[in-house]
Amino acid sequence: MNLSLRDANTLALAGVVIGSIALVAALVLITSMVRLRRRYILLQGDGGTEDFIGAVARQVSIVDSLRREVGALKSNLDQTRADLADALRHVAVIRYDAFGDMGGRMSFSAALLDDSGDGIVLTSINARSEARTYIRGIKSGESLPSGLSPEELQAVQLAMKVARK
């Protein structure tokens, strides 16, 4: 097979073009591999530090632990709220003169109620020579066995008003 000089030059030129294209493609691939290796090292770590995947797994474990703790705290908070609703924390005191001849409003009625209006009313009636103290149970803002005096009723209503706020 006899190649003419022109055919040989064309063939050589085609070889140079194909070789140049292959060289450019190889450089592009090498650059891509270097970038990919950097990303891989970032994910896998360099051996001296924690890798990205390990760090993410550790953070997931921490978040799961925090979720369990928040659940336990929510349960404790619900129990505390229930206990607090039963506490006698709504208080109102009404002072008054039980007898017209005595000044200084020495008598009083104090209502101590929980959130549902249950509790007690403590009444102390003071005269010149004696003092009497009474206690009445309150259920839902009312004294069932016997009625309340106007002052006791006023103390209960005031304490219930505080409970609603």
pLDDT per residue as tens digits for the range 8-30: 889 899 999 999 999 999 999 99
pLDDT digits (tens, 9 = 90+) for 98-150: 887 666 788 999 999 988 889 999 999 988 788 899 999 998 878 766 788 88
3-state class (DSSP) for residue 97:
coil
Beta bridge partners of 137: 120
Q: How many residues does the chain have?
A: 165
C-alpha–C-alpha distance, residues 142 and 121, integer Å: 10
Asked if 157 contacts 140 with a C-beta cutoff of 8 angstroms, the reply is no
Q: Is 35 exposed, middle or buried (0-12, 13-18, 19+ CB in 10 A)?
A: exposed
Q: Of 88 and 59, which is predicted with more confidence?
A: 59
C-alpha–C-alpha distance, residues 82 and 66, integer Å: 24
pLDDT, mean over the chain: 87
Is residue 47 very low, low, confident or very high in pLDDT (cuts 50, 70, 90)? low
> Which residue, 111, 69, 112, is CA-closest to 94?
111
